[in-house]
């Protein structure tokens, strides 16, 4: 093989290899990120479940006492979502809105009225044909699993 072809081959092969490696990194990143987010959401749901029985306290974000958004804030931060905001209305703006039919365990349920979002809960799945959620409802109650009391809510996700 002439020297010029050997030199060209030696220069082109490393460039081709770098191009393939860089392209493969970008090709697999979204799927890997989605899998990581799924694991984090399920970890957050596990943390939420572990808080069942803890008392409600307005303005509390754990450990041991929670208001509704404090429960979400505490649980999702423990699961590695470092940028979750503190209040339910901020969390509603932060989460990606999804169709109710697309919800998966660990997604969020945002309750609203004429004044905006006033409550947040974590979707826990279906029981007896009804959606269930885990939430910190209000003073005198404890974190528990329940069904929504109204249809005035929308779904959000951090996946």
68 is catalytic: yes
Q: Which of 45, 48, 68, 71 is catalytic?
A: 68
User: 3-class DSSP state for residue 55?
Assistant: strand
Q: Would you say how long the chain is, in residues?
A: 159
Within its chain, how far is the Cα of 109 from the centroid?
Answer: 12
Bridge partners of 155, per DSSP, are: 98, 109
**Radius of gyration for the alpha carbons in the chain, expressed in angstroms and rounded:** 23
CA 36 from centroid of its chain's CA atoms: 10
Residue 39 parent element (H or E): helix 3-50
Which residue among 69, 88, 117, 119 is the active-site one?
A: 119
Strands (E), the chain: 96-98, 108-113, 116-127, 130-135, 144-146, 153-157
Active-site position among 135, 136, 156, 158 = 135
* Contact between 156 and 100 (Cβ < 8 Å): no
Active site residue ranges: 68, 119, 135
């Amino acid at each position: 093989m002439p020297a010029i072809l050997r030199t060209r081959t030696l220069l082109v092969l490393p460039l081709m290899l770098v191009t393939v490696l860089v392209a493969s990194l970008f090709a697999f990143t979204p799927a890997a990120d989605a899998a990581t987010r799924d694991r984090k959401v399920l970890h957050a749901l596990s943390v939420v479940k572990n808080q069942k029985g803890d008392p409600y306290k307005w303005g509390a974000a754990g450990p041991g006492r929670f208001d509704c958004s404090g429960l979400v804030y505490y649980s999702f931060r423990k699961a590695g979502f470092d940028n979750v905001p503190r209040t339910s209305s901020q969390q509603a703006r932060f989460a990606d809105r999804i169709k109710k039919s697309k919800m998966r365990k660990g997604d969020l349920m945002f309750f609203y009225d004429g004044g905006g979002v006033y409550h947040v809960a974590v979707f826990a799945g279906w029981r007896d044909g009804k959606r269930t959620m885990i939430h910190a409802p209000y003073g005198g109650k404890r974190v528990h699993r329940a069904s929504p009391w109204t249809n005035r809510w929308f779904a959000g996700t951090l996946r």
